[in-house]
Structure 1
């Protein structure tokens, strides 16, 4: 049964600033929320972790972060209360939880707007479904909605082995683009299996140098940066078409001064002061049922999969964060929610 047996639930809440081991507290007495009109109650079965989760735990003070609150966004589960929406009890769904309501993915239940959910395609496991929403929405919005990629274009995706990069490669190939990407030498075979046409090992030498000095010059129609590498943009005149656009999902994190300088170089420095004569755009992912359905349809058609690195029990959530924080996860790190 998806309907709650009681009125309280288990969850991991962020109660203070710090690393996950310092900031998170496991509680078993939180009230199960009641859905408002247009929303449903989801019985969460799996939750995927994202680097932004632990980074915000470390960075933001309690007042700004609105603590305490349940952490993480990505969920897969079943409808416990359809509340008069398109969904009925027992439907398998995936989507995002809004932390601003003090809710999060690392809980047994969450109230989510029906507009923020889609049915899980049968081609995805529960763990894969949990890991799709945030990284998939980021990839499709960057490539399709902002860069407007088209068949035949040559695209460079920085960070092909990252969770966002892995989805971006598959989406770009579905749109019939030629994809060049980057990863470390040890991950080349895995990235190649996603469909990338050409792969550069970023540990061999700086990517901008490899691209600038290639025997056959590169000329990309667009660059999608899933890592945040300032130098890749500042040297892009050599390999990004004059009409091309460089899109990044994050700034390069290099201490306070280094990060601010990178933002100046990419977003503020005019060309007459030595700025790069190419279009640069930052963007933040926004929930979108249309985009989420696009991703689910690709998965249903066998054109998209979600790499999963590892799965952990709910009580081992801190170990799951330890794995994620190594930076060596080959796919999503997923927590299975117990009931």
Structure 2
């Protein structure tokens, strides 16, 4: 975990330059074509009420980042001065909020706001809402904390707000080695739940070390068949689909392993085959039970980075119940290499970019 580091002072953060380095979006496409490093991006100088200026120490990449680059039109993306969404940093201008200049914080800028305001995490300075950042826990470094936002809060809100998970219940997490799944395992165990999770066999130890009580290797046989054959007793109260698969089979077959009254939660269908969304919607959302529809609840978790949930999540970090998940750390200039890593689909934990070379 983190070592003792000097707390930034207001005078240090007050030396705000007029321009900065940032990774700008210049067109649609894959990251190596869509993003460019600029050394003369203006530092945000006009803050609205409730906004703060943050000196970014580290930023974390997310799969949604490179996927958005691939499908949004260039005229939308070209308005973005700094891309990506999760960060850890130091408040450079508290702008009359409850925060103070020099506070070390962690936060996330929702994707729609990055696209509309033009400001995300891959910059030396960015602006964010004070209501969507919290003090960084003292037992983690900035590079460890940078990846808490989208993945950690999505997992937290899926289990706490959507599932309303209770101690003693059982949870299945599909994609236990994904960032969302990895946080979900820890959060469910902290809640006192029994956890089963899936991943490829090579990641079994990683998933078990996070706290999974039972493991399923999805490469051995179709997962729905493995789960039905296991005949869990009791059946799972919560099924969290953290991979973003489009195939509805796991939900359609869920009565074999998801308890009546249980809930199937998805991070949302993603990836190849998205053109089959109409078929997915019919089988999952629209098909009534008398026409063969699945007699289980399906819910989508949609991230809303609230102060309440941020504080609850970081409290668990401070208590050591949730640990940071860092797959790899790249220099700011090597951001495109960081995208190469996350696009392999083999990262266990967050891929982090060290914006400030002196950050821990």
TM-score range relative to shorter protein: over 0.9
Q: 1:271 and 2:289 equivalent?
A: yes
Matching residue of 1:3 = 14
8 Å CA contact 1:16–1:67 kept in 2: the answer is no
**Matches of 2:280 and 2:324, distance apart in 1:** 31
Tell me which residue corresponds to 1:33.
Answer: 44
Q: Is 1:287 aligned to 2:305, yes or no?
A: yes
- State the superposition RMSD in angstroms: 1.5
Aligned pairs for 1:106-145 within 5 A = 106-145=122-161
Residue 91 of structure 1 corresponds to 103
- For residue 15 of structure 1, the aligned residue among 18, 26, 37 is 26
Unaligned runs of 5+ in 2: 1-11
Instruction: State the alpha-carbon separation in 2 of the partners of residues 216 and 302 from structure 1.
Output: 30
Look up the SS of the partner of 1:156 in the other structure: strand
TM-score when normalising by structure 1: 0.96
Name the residue aligned to 1:326: 344
**What is the alpha-carbon distance in structure 2 between the residues aligned to residue 56 and residue 144 of structure 1?**
27
1:105 alignment counterpart? 121
Cα deviation for residue 53 of structure 1 reads 0.3
Match of 1:243 in 2: 261
2:235 paired with 1:224: no
Q: Structure 1 residues 175 and 46 mapped into 2: Cα distance closer, same or farther (>3 Å)?
A: same
Deviation by residue 1:96-138 (Cα, 9 ceiling, x = unmatched): 1230210010001111111111111112121121000111110
Correspondence 1:167 to 2:183: yes
Using structure 2 for the length normalisation, give the TM-score.
0.90
* Separation (CA, whole Å) in 2 of partners of 1:59 and 1:120: 33
Relative to structure 1, is the Cα distance of residues 210 and 88 closer, same or farther in structure 2, using a 3 angstrom cutoff? same
Kindly indicate whether the alpha-carbon contact (under 8 Å) linking 2:25 and 2:78 is maintained by their aligned counterparts in 1.
no
User: What is the CA distance between 1:217 and its match in structure 2?
Assistant: 5.0
Check the 8 A contact 1:211/1:217 in 2, yes or no. Answer: no
1:311 equivalent to 2:323? Answer: no
Give 1:261's aligned residue. 279
Indicate the SS of the match to 1:132. Answer: helix
User: Equivalents in 1 of 2:170, 2:127: separation in Å?
Assistant: 41
Work out the CA distance in 1 between the residues paired with 2:274 and 2:161: 31
Superposed CA offset, 1:212-260 (max 9, x none): 1126556111111111342111100111111111110111534243333
Q: Could you tell me how far apart the structure 2 residues matched to 1:107 and 1:313 are?
A: 12
User: What is the number of residues matched between the two proteins?
Assistant: 339
Moved over 3 A (4+): 63-69, 215-218
Separation (CA, whole Å) in 2 of partners of 1:242 and 1:149: 15
- Which whole-Å CA distance do the structure 1 matches of 2:223 and 2:233 have between them? 14
**Which shifted more, 57-66 or 34-43?**
57-66
Structure 1 unaligned regions, length at least 5? none
- 1:62-77 superposed matches below 5 A: 62-63=74-75, 65=77, 67-77=79-89
Q: 1:327 to 1:215 in 2, by over 3 A?
A: same
